[in-house]
């Protein structure tokens, strides 16, 4: 009987399965195949040849590629941490309803509604060393020496600037998810804890955090995956510069494919990014949402 019911359900999920196969598995499979090929569009006379594992060997032996992986990890971990901490604080502040709280929520969500390309142009203007308001403000309060060099031209400052730009755009998303999680937490455990004399910190540590784990997992997984493929703000604000000091794996893959025309190695870079994304997701599920604590 149960098997009959299952068979009857297959036609209903078939469209969704076909959609997933077409938009996800087919491109991934194509990229996997391309990553084992040696195909350079600048040398059509050489054709498409098998490269074996040479593209992947190059990934883990090429110094520049390893540096790019390090920069990508720096950007991803930095942006996720800043967004999670800031979003958590703002969500806790908005959890208590006050007069005009809906207006405040709407204003806070505005950056998330702006296209990343627009965000890149806006922040490139804001940080402009000649007429940018941020640089002008620092000079007015006597901190001109702090921004003597253009921030986007400073190899040591460019990644932190990109992290702050990314956090400005996506912290509202974190706030939205965590606030929804806070609103869904039942009040009975808090009332019982207050009766038992639990302090505010203990209520937060032993009730709020454990019950908010699913929302935190959603936030860090989604933001990690989107940070790994960051391209828009890097392309608009820095173009990977100064030099190559702001290149991430996504931008490196783009430059390899569409400037160097090395399709095989670019596909290997994309597969590495995909593998890192899976690794991060499994790690987060183990630490935040996995194990007996998540049951």
Domain range annotation of the chain? 65-294
pTM: 0.88
At 241 the pLDDT is 87
Residue 291 reports pLDDT greater than 60: no
DSSP string, 68-113: HHHHHHHHHHHHHHHHHHHHHHHHHHHTS--TTHHHHHHHHTGGGG
At 294 the pLDDT is 42
Nearest C-alpha neighbor of 169 from the set 93, 113, 89, 225: 113
Give the tens place of pLDDT for each residue, 20-60: 888 888 889 999 999 999 988 888 777 788 988 999 999 99
Residue 278 reports pLDDT greater than 70: yes
DSSP string, 180-247: HHHHHS-SHHHHHHHHTT--HHHHIIIIIHHHTHHHHHHHHHHHHHHHHT--HHHHHHTTT-STTTT-
Whole-angstrom Cα Rg for the chain:
24
Sorted by sequence, the CB contacts under 8 Å of residue 265 that are 6+ apart come out as: 55, 58, 256
Q: Give the SS3 label for residue 161.
A: helix
Nearest C-alpha neighbor of 59 from the set 264, 280, 278: 264
H or E segment and range at residue 171? helix 158-184
Q: Is the dihedral of CA 269, 274, 278, 280 positive or negative?
A: positive
Sorted by sequence, the CB contacts under 8 Å of residue 226 that are 6+ apart come out as: 170
- What gap in Å lies between CA 237 and CA 204, rounded to an integer? 39
Give the tens place of pLDDT for each residue, 102-158: 787 788 888 888 999 999 999 999 888 778 788 778 778 876 666 666 788 889 889
Give the tens place of pLDDT for each residue, 177-190: 999 999 899 888 88
Mean pLDDT, the chain, rounded, equals: 87
Q: Which fold has domain 65-294?
A: MetI-like fold (1.10.3720)
Per the CB < 8 A criterion, the answer to whether 54 and 38 are in contact is yes
Task: Please report where in the chains the tokens 């920069």 appear, as a residue.
Answer: 71
At 295 the pLDDT is 42
Residue 258 reports pLDDT greater than 50: yes
């Amino acid at each position: 009987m149960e098997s009959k019911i299952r068979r009857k359900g297959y036609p209903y999920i078939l469209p969704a399965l076909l959609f997933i196969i077409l938009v996800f598995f087919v491109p991934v499979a194509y990229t996997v195949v391309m990553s084992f090929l040696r195909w350079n569009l600048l040398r059509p006379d050489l054709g498409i040849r098998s490269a074996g594992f040479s593209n992947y060997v190059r990934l883990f032996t090429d110094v520049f590629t390893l540096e790019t992986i390090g920069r990508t990890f720096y950007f991803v971990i930095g942006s996720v941490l800043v967004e999670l901490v800031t979003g958590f604080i703002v969500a806790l502040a908005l959890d208590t309803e006050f007069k005009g709280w809906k207006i405040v929520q709407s204003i806070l969500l505005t950056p998330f509604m702006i296209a990343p390309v627009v965000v890149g142009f806006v922040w490139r203007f804001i940080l402009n060393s000649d007429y940018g308001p941020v640089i002008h403000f620092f000079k007015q309060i006597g901190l001109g020496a702090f921004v003597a060099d253009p921030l986007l031209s400073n190899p040591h400052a460019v990644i932190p600037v990109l992290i702050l730009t990314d956090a400005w755009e996506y912290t509202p998303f974190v706030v939205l998810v965590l606030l929804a999680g806070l609103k869904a937490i039942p009040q009975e455990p808090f009332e019982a804890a207050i009766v038992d004399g639990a302090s505010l910190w203990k209520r937060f540590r032993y009730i709020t955090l454990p019950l908010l784990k699913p929302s935190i997992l959603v936030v860090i997984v989604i933001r990690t995956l989107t940070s790994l493929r960051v391209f828009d703000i890097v392309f608009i604000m820095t173009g990977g510069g100064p030099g190559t000091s702001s290149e991430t794996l996504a931008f490196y893959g783009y430059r390899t494919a569409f400037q160097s025309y090395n399709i095989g190695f670019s596909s290997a870079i994309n597969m590495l990014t995909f593998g890192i994304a899976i690794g991060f997701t499994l790690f987060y599920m183990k630490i935040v949402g996995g194990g007996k604590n998540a049951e």
